[in-house]
Amino acid sequence: MTLGVVFLDRASVIANVRRPRGATDYLEYPHSEAHEVPLREAVLRQLPQLRMIAVAATGYDIVDVGYCRDHGIAVANIRNYAVHTVPEHAFALILALRRNLLAYRADVEQGLWNRSEQFCLLDHPILDLHGAQLGIIGEGVLGRAMAAIGAAFGMRAMFRDHPQRVGEDLEYQPLPRLLAESDVVSLHCPLLPSTHNLIGEAELRTMKRSAILINTARGGLVDERALVRALQEGTIAGAGFDVLTVEPPREGNPLLDLRLPNLIVTPHIAWASRGAMQFLADQLIDNIDAWAAGTPQNLVT
């Protein structure tokens, strides 16, 4: 069997990537334009010989899975590769925001500590994680890892209730109650039609004014313009985002226009520890090799 493999956006994976077994042709393209990445029906119709899409991520919303399923195109994704790096990044954001680290760093840079009349500065509130309520949306491996880390800090975790619960060993609450009672809300669910703009203006107004919102999942889960207003008006205390609705944000983004110490935006790097990227690269090629051998794994079709 002739097996041609094309790796798009190779430069986004800083890892050793072995050549798939049995690949008669193997091409790597370091970069792709944003319009070239989504594999929708119009594009897939032009690829009659395409038989398998190996997504180099857990999320596969860039692929028209329904079309692939109907036309015999296998789609595989990456599983459980970011179980440490994403929760660690999320908690880095949580700690920085709860303890107002950016505001205090700015104070030091501006010389306010030098001019202080006492040994410390206490211009911004510092809130403990111990005893705080952690609301998690998404109870997969990442959501559960968040709960475990939160427990080590002394936080209490609850998960958003929904019809497709994954296990009954967790505390579930309806979204309005989760938002109203949580001190930290962290998103770890996929972007689907049912979760698009899951957090909008009404949901943000439900949250505590002292609460923070963390998103290391997908940008489309949150109405970004509503979040801008919430931060400007003090509806919530802060936000830490590693994802935006459009990436890269070449046309800008309303969150990037803000210059607030209670907003941290990182460039989609929560997943990108060196260990996680190597695990991803190995599983990516494993998925291709398994499919070629007739024993496919990690299929979403």
According to DSSP, the β-strands at 4-8 and 25-29 are parallel
Instruction: Tell me how far apart the alpha carbons of residues 103 and 140 are, in angstroms, rounded to a whole number.
Output: 33
Residue 160 β-bridge partners: 173
Q: Which of 88, 181, 201, 247 is catalytic?
A: 247
Q: Which residues pair with 129 in a beta bridge?
A: none
CA torsion through residues 244, 249, 253, 256, sign: positive
CB count within 10 Å of CB 87 equals 24
Count of C-beta atoms within a 10 Å radius of residue 198 = 20
251 catalytic per annotation: no
CA distance 146 to 215: 12
Please state, in angstroms and rounded to a whole number, the distance separating the CA atoms of residues 83 and 258: 31
Q: What angle do the packed helices 85-98 and 101-109 form, to 10 degrees?
A: 60
First-to-last C-alpha distance (Å) of the chain: 22
Catalytic residue among 99, 177, 196, 268: 268
| Known catalytic residue at 33 | no
Q: What is the DSSP string of 39-52?
A: B-HHHHTT-TT--E
- Assess whether 40 carries a catalytic annotation: no
Side chain identity at 2, as an amino acid letter? Answer: T
Closest CA relative to residue 235, chosen from 215, 263, 257: 263
Catalytic residue among 28, 218, 225, 259: 218
- How many Cα atoms are found within 13 Å in the side-chain-facing hemisphere of 287? 24
Active centre residues (catalytic): 218, 247, 268
